Structure 1
Amino acid sequence: MNLNPHVAVFISNNSDKYDLIDTIISGNSIVQVKGLKGGLFSEITVNKYIEEERRHGHFDIKTISNNSLEHSSAGERKKALLTHIISNKPNYIIVDNIFDNLDAKSQRDIVNTLEQLSEQTLIVQIVNRKCDILSFIKNIYCLQDKSLVLVNDLEDLKNVGKKNFTISIPKPSLQILPDFNPLVKFKNVTVAYGNRTIVKDITWEINKGEFWQLLGPNGSGKSTLLSLITGDNIKAYHQDVTLFGVKKGSGESVWDIKKKIGYLSTELLRGFSRLDSIGNMIASGFFDTVGLYQTPTFEQIEIVRQWLDVLNMFEIRKRPFLSLSSGHKRLVLIARAMVKHPPLLILDEPSIGLDENDVALFSELINKIASESDTAILYVSHRKELGLNPDFMFQLTPDKMGSTGKRVQG
């Protein structure tokens, strides 16, 4: 069978990915796969298997540590799914945004695996960033009006229609930023579970107004450090951890900590299922609720209006939040987190699944918040996004005795 050429399909966040996958599998859009046995390497497939695990109480796919998909990290899930698909010996594999949630080494491992597979298995890649297109794929299409159009030059995929955030971000209604530094202080922090040490001797400070990126490969302890900062990890009680001027274990509640933190992650997006408007979603940030159940004050309404102007969304403020693209949803949730100007804004893998246009918008807004507010920003990602400008980076390096960390200049 002629396995050439492999195909990449470049899409935006506004594309109907489910419809595209259906047309590929049917052979209506890519004739090479018609009648062949295929596999789908995608978060869509992962979610399907997790739902089956919940329904039937057992799991067919195990990670390398013999855990179920539901109780494994996103990176472990991807590796387990690819191994499962390959074991079924498909004629072709549709690979969808393969690099999300993976550190640099895991990305290289997956690329090497797919390169070897490409010698005998047809690869169809769905991608929303030019830099992620696999090097062995030479036939690249973009999705336009549900049709695939051949791209003769990658430069044809330049970002278009980029919006600039030209209006200054609004001031907070109540100045709750503390007058102490640091906001977060770790001194020789070590966290272990049983005989396994996750992080060892971490010393780190985050001061008011600083912009940090937390880096480290899968399993290096990034999530552990975040859980110590947000108050969700009881291990902090036995460590020299100070949060917002209060030594951990001095009587503060988890909610005292959380109300000083704005938080955004891709997992958080899954929790918003109500049909709230864009404007109400931003306003709900004043009350830390999912949905608006209280009437905002006139001052709060004015701040929401100003944020809508910043985002260029005032004219569509009554549209359902869920009608927005993935990237624009995240812009709204950032505004929601910032209406009270929290001392600390945490962005946990916030650019996963975004296309290049939305990444550019996201980066521009975060840079703007960093330069126009006293809110400290902690950005957690495997990627060093082009255009995003953190002041500092904290790098975790895995070790069998526990990951160590050090500050590096951004």
Structure 2
Amino acid sequence: MFSNANAVHYYQQRFNAFDSDGHLTVRDYLLANGHDDNSARATLASLGAEHLLNLERIKLSSGQTRKLLLAKALAGQPELLIIDNPYLGLDAPSRHQLNEILTALTAKNKTSLILIANSENPPACISHRLHLHKGRVISSGPESSSPGQAPSPDKDIFIDEAILRRFSKEPTSPPYDSVIKLQDVSVSYGDKPVLDKLNWVVGTGEKWLVSGNNGSGKSTLLSLIYADHPQAYANQIYLFDHRRGRGESIWDIKRRIGFTSPELHSFFDGSLTARQVILSGLNDNFRPPARVTPQQSELLQGLLDFSRLDDTDTKTFRQFSTGEQRLLLLLRALIKVPPVLLLDEPFQGLDPATIQRCRHLLDAVLTPQQTLIFISHFREEVPETVTKELKL
């Protein structure tokens, strides 16, 4: 949880339609950070987000929050603008809009821009590129020249035998026919509909991509499935052939699902070590279990080896980079070898080589009986094992 002058915030709050009093609106946030009312409206409009102006900040999706932070950074037409990974969570139209805004800003105001990103499609205003690898400069010079590249991604990506062995031991015939069934599911925040009479069936072992623009309801959909959304009980939602709200606890649902999301990342306990972060996935909460089995310990070590991170017993979660944190949360989702994986933009902040390794990991370990729901705005991130798509 975290607090500000107006309210206390918690992980599931943006999904709770009834707990909505006393929190900063988008307008209030921008007015407190350098904008006047006209500039706040104009900046959001340039990002295609003027409709967010009167919404509470805590209720925004990951991509909408990214647009808000960008609008804040553009306040006052700065002489120097430094933006770190601005494309994270943005859909393709929004990435194009951002590039157009940055190009116009630098041309009109002579703003100097430092853009930190892995994007191969930077704005047209970028004139120079500095390429880093493991803290060292690989190249520096005009963008029109051919920049030096980091070593090529692994051609033969090694997956520890402990990981492959543990996943291969999953039951071959799960005791249910469908994993997820939604019938006429509708969700609204106030008078704003997010999902409208959605019908969707996910069979055992199916691998799905869920796609759609920012604010289309992708994360809301996963929150319904993962028992984080209070409106789940007002809808016809079936998990593992059983109707939600018929006596099962939230923990009965979560124990069979591996999960990661930008919201989980934002609220995760920064004091845990890397080892503890991954182990906490066994408990479906933010704390590792007191005891683990030898098989769990073996899998944990395999996942830590895959991470290639240093000081995993002593370095805390908050001391790792954003990309390293997202990698740990992905491995956390895998630690209990769940029959269902819900991965909401799991590769945010990862470099291209690590994304390739993680895609290969999912393709290698997921069995025909395990179900995957995968959200991403980048087609190149989608694992090859994904064969179906739900567009919202």
Query: TM-score under structure 2 normalisation?
Result: 0.75
2:270 maps to 1:273: yes
2:90 maps to 1:122: no
Q: Quote the residue 1:150 is aligned against.
A: 140
2:334 pairs, out of 316, 332, 338, with 338
In structure 2, what is the Cα distance between the partners aligned to 1:155 and 1:320?
Answer: 33
When residues 224 and 275 of structure 1 are mapped into structure 2, their CA distance, relative to the original with a 3 A threshold, is closer
TM superposition shift of 1:383:
1.7
| 174-183 or 118-127, which deviates more | 174-183
2:123 pairs, out of 115, 130, 134, with 134
In structure 1, what is the Cα distance between the partners aligned to 2:196 and 2:375?
Answer: 19
In structure 2, what is the Cα distance between the partners aligned to 1:315 and 1:98?
Answer: 27
Identity value in percent = 27
2:351 maps to 1:355: yes
Amino acid at match of 1:296: V
When residues 186 and 288 of structure 1 are mapped into structure 2, their CA distance, relative to the original with a 3 A threshold, is closer
Partner SS state of residue 118, structure 1: helix
Deviations 1:288-345 (A, max 9, x none): 3434341223333233344445x16599664535355444444443333223221211
Deviations 1:87-146 (A, max 9, x none): 513223223222112122222222222222121233423233141422331311224657
2:102 maps to 1:110: no
TM superposition shift of 1:386:
4.6
| 191-200 or 142-151, which deviates more | 142-151
1:185 pairs, out of 160, 170, 181, with 181
Aligned-residue RMSD, C-alpha: 3.4
Amino acid at match of 2:211: L
| 254-263 or 381-390, which deviates more | 381-390
1:367 pairs, out of 363, 381, 388, with 363
1:214 pairs, out of 210, 215, 220, with 210
Q: Quote the residue 2:79 is aligned against.
A: 91
List aligned pairs for 1:135-284, cutoff 5 A.
135-143=124-132, 145=135, 149-151=139-141, 153-154=145-146, 156-160=148-152, 162=154, 164-168=157-161, 169-171=164-166, 178-270=174-266, 271-278=268-275, 280-284=276-280
Q: Quote the residue 1:61 is aligned against.
A: 30
Q: Is the 8 A contact 1:142 1:151 kept in 2?
A: no
Query: TM-score under structure 1 normalisation?
Result: 0.72
When residues 202 and 298 of structure 1 are mapped into structure 2, their CA distance, relative to the original with a 3 A threshold, is same
Q: Is the 8 A contact 1:191 1:198 kept in 2?
A: yes
Partner SS state of residue 192, structure 1: strand
In structure 1, what is the Cα distance between the partners aligned to 2:6 and 2:138?
Answer: 35
When residues 234 and 127 of structure 1 are mapped into structure 2, their CA distance, relative to the original with a 3 A threshold, is same
Q: Quote the residue 2:378 is aligned against.
A: 383
Deviations 1:184-238 (A, max 9, x none): 0112222234443222221212222222111011121112211211122232323
When residues 332 and 146 of structure 1 are mapped into structure 2, their CA distance, relative to the original with a 3 A threshold, is closer
Name stretches of at least 5 consecutive residues in structure 2 with no aligned partner: 9-22, 32-43, 45-49
In structure 2, what is the Cα distance between the partners aligned to 1:249 and 1:261?
Answer: 17
Q: Quote the residue 2:298 is aligned against.
A: 302
In structure 2, what is the Cα distance between the partners aligned to 1:394 and 1:319?
Answer: 41
Deviations 1:37-89 (A, max 9, x none): xxxxxxxxxxxxx967779x874416742245444334334434444554513
In structure 2, what is the Cα distance between the partners aligned to 1:84 and 1:285?
Answer: 34
* Alignment size in residue pairs: 344
1:285 pairs, out of 281, 284, 303, with 281
Deviations 1:234-271 (A, max 9, x none): 32323222111111232222221111111112332341
When residues 89 and 330 of structure 1 are mapped into structure 2, their CA distance, relative to the original with a 3 A threshold, is closer
Q: Relative contact order (C-alpha < 8 Å, sep 6+): which is higher?
A: 1
When residues 205 and 91 of structure 1 are mapped into structure 2, their CA distance, relative to the original with a 3 A threshold, is same
Q: Is the 8 A contact 2:138 2:150 kept in 1?
A: no
When residues 84 and 290 of structure 1 are mapped into structure 2, their CA distance, relative to the original with a 3 A threshold, is closer
